[in-house]
């Protein structure tokens, strides 16, 4: 079965839509359980009107990716769940929102506990430190709000130019008919 990379940063992992998990698992999780929380926590960045997502599992091991460099997500709000397995080190770190210049950013390390989920703004810069043994697997859900990203692309900070696609694409929509097809942005960085 052909298999895509989870995103352009991680080399190892799996996209959950390729396993058919969107309709059965991720969409109900987002709508029923995550959006009530994100509405309260992140009303400033679309937490109350999330309407699509990109979900994937990332894998780190001694022979594969060890860490993830500092970045922001193609998301308004992100859920990151530590699935295990056994590993040492590999903490997450968080810094300021992407608008803060590199040389003024402060960093906080967060030890991620297996089974626990962590919500954060997608545009807050973050990364994962190298593991020093074992395997680290995380479920990542990049949640998106068309109402927010249709105004300005969160990856290039410009007005989106749209091309038609199937599925959620990168979460942009053409604000015409309610049932208009989903669109993907041409400069997508995922
Ligand atoms: O490995 C992690 O826990 C972070 C993954 C991440 O930040 C991402 O995929 O956007
Ligand atoms: Fe990320």
CATH of the domain at 48: 2.60.120.620
Residue nearest ligand 1's atom 9 by CA: 140
- What is the tens place of the pLDDT at every residue in 17-70? 999 999 999 999 999 999 999 999 999 999 999 999 999 999 999 999 999 999
- Residue 179: the pLDDT is 45
Q: How far is the CA of 175 from the centre of ligand 2 (A)?
A: 28
Say if 53 falls within a structural domain.
Answer: yes
ipTM of the complex: 0.99
Residue 67 contacts residue 90 (beta carbons within 8 Å): yes
Q: How far is the CA of 165 from the centre of ligand 2 (A)?
A: 24
Q: Which of 74, 121, 140 to mutate to test the pocket of ligand 1 (most atoms within 8 A of CB)?
A: 140
Helical spans, DSSP H, in the chain: 21, 27-28, 35-41, 146-149
Confidence of residue 172 (pLDDT cuts 50, 70, 90): very high
Residue 110 contacts residue 92 (beta carbons within 8 Å): yes
- Ligand 1 is surrounded, with C-beta below 6 A, by 7, 10, 58, 68, 73, 80, 92, 126, 128, 138, 140
Say if 176 falls within a structural domain.
Answer: no
Q: What is the C-alpha separation between 8 and 1, in angstroms, rounded? A: 20
Would you call 93 exposed, middle or buried from its count of C-beta atoms within 10 A (0-12, 13-18, 19+)?
middle
- For residue 74, the enclosing domain spans 13-145
């Amino acid at each position: 079965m052909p298999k895509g990379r989870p995103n352009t940063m991680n080399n190892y992992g799996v996209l959950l839509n390729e396993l058919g998990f969107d309709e059965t698992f991720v969409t109900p999780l987002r709508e029923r359980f995550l959006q009530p929380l994100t509405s309260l926590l992140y009303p400033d960045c679309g937490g109350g009107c999330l309407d699509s997502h990109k979900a994937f599992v990332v894998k780190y091991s001694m022979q594969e990716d060890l860490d993830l460099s500092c970045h922001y997500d193609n998301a308004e709000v992100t859920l990151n769940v530590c699935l295990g397995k056994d590993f040492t080190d590999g903490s997450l770190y968080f810094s300021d929102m992407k608008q803060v210049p590199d040389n003024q950013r402060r960093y906080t390390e967060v030890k991620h506990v297996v089974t626990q989920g962590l919500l954060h703004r997608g545009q807050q810069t973050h990364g994962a430190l190298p593991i020093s043994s074992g395997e680290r697997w995380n479920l990542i859900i990049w949640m998106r709000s068309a109402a927010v990203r249709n105004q300005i692309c969160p990856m290039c900070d410009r007005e989106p130019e749209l091309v038609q696609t199937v599925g959620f694409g990168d979460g942009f929509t053409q604000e015409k008919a309610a049932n208009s097809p989903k669109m993907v942005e041409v400069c997508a960085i995922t």
